[in-house]
Each structure stands twice: as structure tokens, then as C-alpha cells.
Amino acid sequence: MKTGEERSTRTPPVVTPRYDDAVSGTHRTQEHEILIADTGLAALVTAGLLDRAGFDPLVAPSPSDRSPPRVTVVWEPGLRVLERLGLRRSVERRGTRVTELGRPGSEKSWEADASSEIALVAVGRDQLRALLDQAVRSRARETDRVVTALESAASGVRATFDHEETESFDVAVTADRSLSADHAPEPDGRVHTWKCHQLETTAKATESWGASAAAFATPTGDSTSLRLVTTAETPARAAVSVDDIVDRFSHLGPPTADLGRALRDSGFEYRRVRLAAPASVATGRIGLVGPSARTALPGTHLGPSTDIETAWALATALANASGINEALSAYERRRRDLSGRFRTWLDDESMSDPVLSPEFRLLFSARRLAFSHVTGTARSVKYAIDADR
């Protein structure tokens, strides 16, 4: 189903490279019509993996497509998936490799001595976008028409483009929950976050914890990414006041010489978020990936990696299942299974930090997993990568 508005710069592949042991490598060019209704990180990784599995997906923008953050921090499990697209080495070369984590003022220091293992890679927005364009968008069919609605039926998905033209697909993949039939307005969150960048660089990642507040710093090449998180009640006026923000986090000894200066010089982004998992990651013939298939844990830097993993999980299900419904059911089961097992482990591990609020116990444990080579936490990647579900 190709139109004059779509472009293709390659011949569909006839051989499927293995991107995980779960993919048999026996599939050839597939007949299913697949719509990728989004152009964010998770959607493009899904398109790239499906392309390499022999499918020929169509990529289209969604209403909520927005620029990614200035710096994207990818945790090691996410890099493993990017390696299947031939992107891992390029991301590591262009980004800042993070191998150590310090906890100033704490007896539980997580600083690693001469560690050579990568925990995170911080890569610039424009660099990551250029790499994705080269590896995925240059190979995929693409249309500039915006998908404004998706309607799932037993036999497929009806997509509306630009509020007018409609087309049918066997399955649609999106990171935009507003296109899903079960979309409902999100209630206000109780976790408050601030993010900014300071021009001074740091040699390693650092973090400071309180009972209901935490401060994080991650090196990003020529600058440092700062994140502040609290579950304490924060009035609207205090949320945008530099002096109030500094007062709320000064007791932690935030990992920066002058927090107020950093907030004033670079500006900051403030958000309120929730820690509730989505009810479902598959509605009818619509599969959700990325932010719509997870709950963010602010400050952990696990979000992008989990978004990448949702792309891998859905692409693997579509490549291996005999039918679309079976694939989406398998994807749903996998996400629930991983979430359940991870939360069971978190419940056990977090008991060692009873002073923390419930939200911060989850945040603390997930953060520790991200730096497991430093903390000595020995857990399977397949559990850890689902940390913010």
C-alpha cells in the first residue's frame, strides 16, 4: 500500500539478521501491512528492527511527536538493542561513557575503582537523531501525513491521516497514547522533577539522597545534566522559584558547586509525573511502545532504555508469532511478567532502606540496578531493563 506521498530508498530485505536469540532468522519479507504512527526513539527502533526482520513498515508522524531531550541517556541494556541496528559503537563514540557513580557524604559510596564497564552513555539529541535517520529512516518507507486517529477492529486498524484520508493496516505501533482507544486524561502526579544543564563538567555520575528528595548529576560531554526529584508537596509558585528550589535541595549537598547559578544560567524544565504502570500495552490491533508502555522513574535514566526494550519486545513478538493477535498477546504477557518479577525483587531489596518514601524506594532500587557493576547488584538484564514499568 504505497502512495505518491511515501518514499522508499531501498529494496526490502530478503534475509533477517538475528537481533536476539528469540528471533529465529527464518523469516523473509512479510506480507503484513504495519503502520508506525510515531517518529520518536521507541517508534524508530521498532521500525528498524521490523525492517531487519523482513517487514516493510510505513513510518508516519503522530500528533504528539516532539523533540527529544537535549541529551538522551541510554543505559547499557538499551545499548545492547541498539547494537542490533548497528548503532551501539556510533552512540558510544559520539556520547559520554559513564562508568562510575559517587554518593558524596554517604557511607554507602558507590564509586567504582578503575571500572571499565559502561553503565550509561549520554548522547546529544542531534547526534542521536542523525544516527537514527541514517540507520532507520533512510531505509524505511515514510510519509509526511500525520496520523490523527487509530481505530482497531478484529481484522486490522483503520488509520486517519490529517483528519481526512483513511487507510487500513494489519497492525499499528505508536508511542502516542492519545491514539489508543483506552486513552484517558492522566491525573496530576505527585513526583516533582526539575532538569537543567550546567556548563561545568564532572568526571563521573553522582547522586545525593534524602527521605523524599534526591539530586543527580550525569556528565554529558561539555556539560553536566542535573536532575532534582522530590515527593514532598510543592506549591506551583515554589516549583518555578529558583530560591525555593535551592532551599528544597540544599540539605542534600547537590552535586554542583552552585545550584542556583545553574538553574538561572541554563533555565530548567519542571514536570509532575506519576509512578503508575499503564493498564495495557496492546489495545486490539494497536501496540504501544515507548513512554506509553512504561512509567518513568525520574532520575534513574532508565526511560530511554526501557523505551528501546519495548521496541525490541514488540518487534520480536511480531516476527515470531503466527498471527497479529497472537503477537500482541505475547507482547502484553511479556511486559506483565517482567513487571511482576521486577517488582517482587524491588519489594525485597527496598526493605533495606525503610526511611525512604514508597516512591523513593522504587526509585532508589531502580537507580541501583542501572549501576549494578558498581553496586554489586547481580540481576538479570531482562528484569532490570523493565525498571520503570
Q: What is the pLDDT of residue 389?
A: 36
Task: Split the chain (389 residues) into runs of 10 and give each run's mean pLDDT.
Answer: 41 31 45 93 96 94 79 88 94 90 64 66 90 92 94 90 93 90 61 85 82 88 87 92 93 77 90 80 92 81 89 94 92 83 63 66 77 61 40
CA-to-CA distance for 147 and 169, rounded, in angstroms? 12
| 237 and 300 in a common domain | no
Same domain, 225 and 197: yes
Residues across the chain: 389
CB 305 within 8 Å of CB 75 = yes
* Among 273, 300, 332, residue at a domain's last position: 273
User: What's the grid cell of residue 51?
Assistant: 525492517
Q: Looking up cell 511480531, which residue turns up?
A: 318
The answer to whether residues 85 and 152 belong to one domain is: yes
Q: Is 296 a domain residue?
A: yes
Q: Are residues 26 and 156 in the same domain?
A: yes
Kindly state whether residue 140 falls inside one of the protein's structural domains.
yes
Considering only CA atoms, give the Rg of the chain.
Answer: 21
pLDDT, position 15: 25
Tell me what pLDDT residue 206 has.
Answer: 86
40 and 141 assigned to the same domain: yes
Quote the number of domains for the chain: 2
- Do 58 and 128 belong to one domain? yes
Tell me which H or E stretch contains 122: strand 120-124
Whether 54 and 203 share a structural domain: no
Count of Cβ atoms closer than 10 Å to residue 144 Cβ: 11
Q: pTM of the full predicted structure?
A: 0.83
Same domain, 83 and 204: no
As a whole number of angstroms, the longest Cα–Cα distance in the chain is 64
Per-residue cell: 86: 548497528
What integer pLDDT is reported at residue 171 of this predicted model? 96
- The CATH number of whichever domain residue 218 belongs to comes to 3.30.70
| Nearest alpha carbon to residue 195 among 165, 164, 217 | 217
Whether 323 is in a domain gets the answer yes
Domain hosting residue 35, numbered range: 13-98+122-186+281-355
Same domain, 63 and 126: yes
Q: Do 65 and 159 belong to one domain? A: yes
343 and 294 housed in the same domain:
yes
Could you tell me the three cell numbers for 263?
538553574
